[in-house]
Amino acid sequence: MIEANAPVTMSDVARVAGVSTATVSRVVNGHYGVSARTIARVRTAIEQLGYESSLVASSLRRSRTNVLGLVAHSFQSFTAEVLKGVMKALSRSGFDLIIYANSDLYGSYSEGWEQRHLTRLSGTLTDGCIVVTPWGEVRSRTPVVAIDPVRGSTAPSVTADNLVGATTAVEHLLGLGHRRIGFIAGRDSLASAWSREEGYRAALAEAGVPVDPTLIGRGDFNPESATPLARALLRRADPPSAIFAASDGMALKVLEVARELGLSVPGDLSVVGFDNIPESASTEPGLTTVDQSMYQLGYEAARMLKSLVTGEWDEPNQLVLPTSLVVRSSTAAPKSAARQ
Amino acid sequence: MIEANAPVTMSDVARVAGVSTATVSRVVNGHYGVSARTIARVRTAIEQLGYESSLVASSLRRSRTNVLGLVAHSFQSFTAEVLKGVMKALSRSGFDLIIYANSDLYGSYSEGWEQRHLTRLSGTLTDGCIVVTPWGEVRSRTPVVAIDPVRGSTAPSVTADNLVGATTAVEHLLGLGHRRIGFIAGRDSLASAWSREEGYRAALAEAGVPVDPTLIGRGDFNPESATPLARALLRRADPPSAIFAASDGMALKVLEVARELGLSVPGDLSVVGFDNIPESASTEPGLTTVDQSMYQLGYEAARMLKSLVTGEWDEPNQLVLPTSLVVRSSTAAPKSAARQ
DNA sequence: CCTGGAAACGTAACCGATAACGATTGCAGT
DNA sequence: ACTGCAATCGTTATCGGTTACGTTTCCAGG
């Protein structure tokens, strides 16, 4: 056995090649001022020892690392889909990606996680970060792009056209004949939650249907938060004939509750979600939802961040992407439609 | 404005609190030997400056970082599903997760990426790593768990019962009456690809059907690799009546080719995949496949790694998880079934 | 032969933190 | 008052690299 598994460092290479670590560094980074013969010697030593530079050590001293970061507090379908888009945008770009996710020691929805992670990374490791569904405005030495930012943020962000998406979804229900339409809202610090509720109200107003505040449940985008809300809505003496949930994760929970209460969907209850996560297509019945191409969100965010880091961004830095309604089988005309 | 966005370091805190950096470090890490009054002063300074310790700097000096790593070369559905399981296992465990993904500068399937990434991280940043579908055996200072390891590896790993899964899949086709069954293999350095091919052969042998080598296409798990292979198989004068693809990604490409050639599925051709990625449920027709719970793979791998790092692992370190056949609508009896 | 300047390379400071170690202080015991 | 131990805290080496700067070498030009 040549070597066990001791970590081979730059000074090991230097010793073997008979040069200083400074010279090794120059060779590794292709800097000027090393003779061809020395380069060859160093290269040989590197090869022989199987040396790889430590990302950590070099990022400590360097300003540019060519690593972009993504921080997220959970890994549900939303983030996973976003991630695919980010990876696509970064493919062959020269930037590597580091995703930092915490283990939720402080509780699943501890405020400020994104700031904590961001400062821990952006001090040195990354050239810039993407933050998914943050809790608040963040400050950072390096550029930050938010996916689904907080309300009123003016920082760079990428978001879906939540207002139009939600309006379309509710219009779809109205068009089917529904009049009592429940709504399960998202975490209200997020602009998306706000806009989706606005869309809900706007569509109702447009149709001349008064908003009944007792039909609105205050969720937080966490699927579990929807369960008690759905139960409360559906156990009423006068339950809504349709529920629009601000996210698919929550909408799927509504389906669960409906099943639990013996309600048939879409017979007794129509359900519409928002996001179009993969699970929504495979559930039974298929969930009618608003597609916001999370893949695209990730793709555009990564593209924006890349340009911000290299300093070549000129487009507006608040991107809004279109949505589209995907009609599946969780919606139908209400039983009492004829009555209206 | 109090402070712009200069990175605030430990010495800033020390200066404000009027102590040395060592004392700040002790306070931050809750070490012994600091008076209550000093602790309070330091805490105040930390609060006031909004200090967060740098992950990079501390990991350089520390031995334990409480960060686990995951390296993957791409982010298709497989890895995304695995990730959800990993996150679940790490939730509230005290371990954070860093995912490192490269930008494919060296081509999508550049051999040795996992070793490169591993050495760059494991020197200091992480206490251990999960490697997804590696290219070869890896060496590392810290524990490594492979998901879907290379053939013949004896290192810690988690894998699905690919042999049984593949056998079951082919038996399903045989049971429907198929006799000419094509196979599209995966990247053959992986144990999973090998086992799935073994299962294919075993099932045929058991049924007394001779293996026709010309019905076997050599893919590499990359969906794109399946397209030309499927075309070649289906354009033959004597095409197979069914195709078993070693991954869902490839199977979906087979469906695409079938559509392109005007073949109806399952009328003219039955297709079976392996993995059960979310897309397989939502495609039309739904893909019959072997479920290997990628979520579970990730969950178990993280659990194993956690124990290896803390040194409390006692179970065997090569886990094999069961699979199950999911029958959807891409399989049916062949038209010529009556003839046999 | 001497000088100037660039090329090649080493030395050491530095990045932000941790930890071994030593120094100082406070206090109890005698 | 003196000793001894423990508590508290600063000093400094260190992690693995990068880089400013200084030194040496070498060659061309005068």
- Report domain extents, chain A: 10-53, 67-160+295-321, 162-292+324-339
Domain B67-159+295-320: CATH superfamily, name plus number = Response regulator (3.40.50.2300)
Span A67-160+295-321: which CATH code? 3.40.50.2300
Put simply, whether A106 touches B (Cβ < 8 Å) is no
Mean pLDDT, chain B, rounded, equals 90
d(CA B97, CA B87): 8
pLDDT tens, residue order, chain A (340 aa): 333 456 788 999 999 999 999 999 999 999 988 999 999 999 999 999 989 888 888 888 888 888 999 998 778 889 988 998 999 899 888 888 998 887 664 444 567 778 888 888 876 789 999 999 888 888 888 899 999 999 999 999 999 999 999 999 999 999 999 999 999 999 989 999 999 999 999 999 999 999 999 999 999 998 999 999 999 999 999 999 999 999 999 999 999 999 999 999 999 999 999 999 988 987 889 999 999 999 999 999 999 999 999 888 777 889 999 999 999 999 999 986 444 4
Span A162-292+324-339: which CATH code? 3.40.50.2300
| Chain A: closest CA distance from residue B278 (Å) | 6
pLDDT at B187 over 80: yes
Interchain CB distance below 8 Å, B124 and A278? no
Put simply, whether B119 touches A (Cβ < 8 Å) is yes
**Which residues in chain A belong to E strands, given as ranges?**
67-72, 96-101, 128-132, 144-147, 157-160, 181-185, 216-218, 242-245, 270-275, 288-291, 318-321, 324-326
The residue of chain B nearest to residue A139, with distances taken between CA atoms, is: B5
List all residues of chain A from 56 to 85 with a beta carbon under 8 Å from chain B.
56-57, 59-60, 74-77, 80-81, 83-84
* B162-291+324-339 classified as CATH 3.40.50.2300: yes
CA angle, residues A145, A150, A152, in degrees to nearest 5: 105
Check residues 51 to 110 of chain A and report those whose beta carbon is under 7 Å from nucleic acid strand D: 51, 53-54, 57-58, 60-63
The residue of chain A nearest to residue B91, with distances taken between CA atoms, is: A103
Q: Which bases along strand D come within 7 Å of a protein CB atom?
A: 7-12, 14-20
Burial pattern B224-242, b for ≥16 Cβ within 10 A else e, equals: ebbbebbbebbeeeebbbb
**For residue A1, what pLDDT is reported?**
31
Put simply, whether B141 touches A (Cβ < 8 Å) is yes
Tens of pLDDT, residues B101-130: 876 644 445 677 788 888 888 767 899 999
- The amino acid at B20: S
Using the Cα atoms of residue A57, residue A58, residue A62 and residue A68 in order, give the sign of their dihedral: negative
Interchain CB distance below 8 Å, B84 and A76? yes
Separation between the CA of A50 and the C1’ of D27 (whole angstroms): 37
**For residue B137, what pLDDT is reported?**
87
* B10-53 classified as CATH 1.10.260.40: yes
| Chain B: closest CA distance from residue A168 (Å) | 23
Are the folds of B67-159+295-320 and B162-291+324-339 the same?
yes
